[in-house]
Amino acid sequence: SKKKGRNCYSYFDHSMQSDLLNKNSLINDLKVALDRQQFELHYQPIVNLDNNTISKAEALIRWKHPARGFVSPERFIPLAEEIGLINDIGEWVFLEAIIETVEVVKNNKNFQMSINTSPLQYRKNGMNISSWFNQLHAYGLTGRNLVLEITEGVLMETSASVRKNLHQLKDLNIEVAIDDFGTGYSSLSYLKKFDIDYLKIDKSFIQNLTEESDDIALVEAIIMMAHKLGCKVIAEGIETETQKRILADAGCDYGQGYYFSKPVNATQFHKLLESWNSK
Ligand code: C2E
Ligand code: CA
Ligand code: CA
Ligand code: CA
């Protein structure tokens, strides 16, 4: 009926309006979050599947909103990109992550911190890689202590500044990982073209890995091709012993996921490293 139609419409209208209010208020809060020190980095170990040691960790940002509690990066990173705040956040993440790395390398010289970067950071007026490199050195670290995670889309960009940034990273010995592999374009040709160091198989492929799954063949093929192209493989989202075993059998180099540990804060991460090393 007409009446019902109108109700539907107004309901829809209201919910859209409240989404927008919600978004705008989140944006306003996001703008002051850096100044108010509401961000925190959590660390998730990346385990070498050959010898069961923690050789790397991924830094994952957390926003502790004063009223809403923890807001997921899946929600606020896209907003930060939209309003031009992602470069500032990216700089904060970098500095916070390397300060933590300094602590970890005291006991593990070859430790690598892996940080997430937005495609926008590779564009003009984005990050300054020479400055990052200088900061690494000022903290007694080298390019080798850092891995930058990028999504496949970045490699598809043809702009001069994106290319320049990617090549400069390699010149400074900073390694590069392709995040969420398998969910985007998944073209393997650029792995070679850009001298990519790691390919991270997206957790959606790992989560279905059981003895009978077709995904075993898929994962095996990805690992084999990556190795042929000189790339190491990290599987993300490992939650079970079975998944770990299937991946190790398939020759996967590194694993990450709740099976080993959830992302934890710096204090917990140090405890984790200590207990892991004394095993
Ligand atoms: P991502 O880079 O793909 O990160 C992996 C996500 O999977 C993380 O979610 C992590 O907590 C979660 N995860 C790890 N192990 C498991 C597991 O065994 N099972 C399941 N179900 N999930 C697992 P998180 O921390 O919520 O981050 C979500 C996304 O936000 C990240 O996805 C990344 O795209 C983005 N992000 C996080 N931190 C940063 C950052 O510092 N900068 C940028 N630009 N993006 C970030
Ligand atoms: Ca990542
Ligand atoms: Ca990922
Ligand atoms: Ca992601």
CA dist., res. 230 & res. 176, Å (int): 13
Per-chain mean pLDDT for the chain: 91
Q: Residue written as tokens 């937005």?
A: 118
pTM score, whole prediction: 0.93
3-state class (DSSP) for residue 210:
coil
pLDDT digit string (tens) for 82-103?
999 999 999 999 999 999 999 9
For residue 12 the two structure tokens come to 């829809």
Q: Is the CB of 70 under 6 A from ligand 1?
A: no
How would you label 9-39 residue by residue, b for 16+ Cβ within 10 Å and e otherwise? eeeeeeeeeeeeeeeeebeebbeebbeeebb
Q: Is the CB of 93 under 6 A from ligand 1?
A: yes
39, 86 contact by CB (below 8 A): no
Residue type, 136: L
pLDDT for the residue numbered 47 = 98
Instruction: Give the nearest ligand 1 atom to 259 CA.
Output: 18
Residues near ligand 2 ion, CB 5 Å cutoff: 116, 149, 179
Q: Is the CB of 74 under 6 A from ligand 1?
A: yes
Ligand nearest, relative to CA of residue 200: 3
pLDDT digit string (tens) for 193-250?
888 999 999 999 999 898 888 889 999 999 999 999 999 999 999 999 999 999 999 9
Protein residue with least CA distance to atom 37, ligand 1:
60
pLDDT digit string (tens) for 171-189?
999 999 999 998 877 677 7
- Ligand 1 probe mutation, 46, 116, 151, most atoms within 8 A of CB: 116
Q: Where are the beta strands (DSSP E) in 31-127?
A: 39-48, 53-65, 69-71, 112-116
Ligand nearest, relative to CA of residue 258: 1
Residues near 229 by beta carbon (within 8 Å), at least 6 away in sequence: 188, 191, 192
**What average pLDDT score do residues 45-49 get?**
98
- Ligand 1 probe mutation, 60, 200, 234, most atoms within 8 A of CB: 60
Instruction: Give the nearest ligand 1 atom to 90 CA.
Output: 42
pLDDT digit string (tens) for 135-158?
999 999 999 999 999 998 888 887
The Å distance, Cα 12 to ligand 3 centre, comes to 34
ipTM score of complex: 0.97
- Percent of residues, the chain, with pLDDT higher than 70: 94
CA dist., res. 102 & res. 132, Å (int): 14
Q: Is the CB of 239 under 6 A from ligand 1?
A: yes
The Å distance, Cα 35 to ligand 1 centre, comes to 23
> Which of left, alpha, beta for 84 (phi over 0: left; psi -120 to 50: alpha)?
left
pLDDT for the residue numbered 2 = 44
Q: Is the CB of 72 under 6 A from ligand 1?
A: yes
Instruction: Give the nearest ligand 1 atom to 60 CA.
Output: 38
Protein residue with least CA distance to atom 25, ligand 1:
60
Q: Which of 231, 236, 146, 252 is nearest to 183 (CA)?
A: 236
Poorest-confidence range of 16-25, 45-54, 86-95?
16-25
Q: Which of 195, 262, 193, 249 is nearest to 223 (CA)?
A: 249
Contacts 24+ apart (CB under 8 A), 88-91: 88/34, 89/34, 89/39, 89/61, 90/117, 90/118, 90/121, 90/126, 90/127, 91/127
Q: Is the CB of 73 under 6 A from ligand 1?
A: yes
pLDDT for the residue numbered 156 = 83
Q: Is the CB of 237 under 6 A from ligand 1?
A: yes
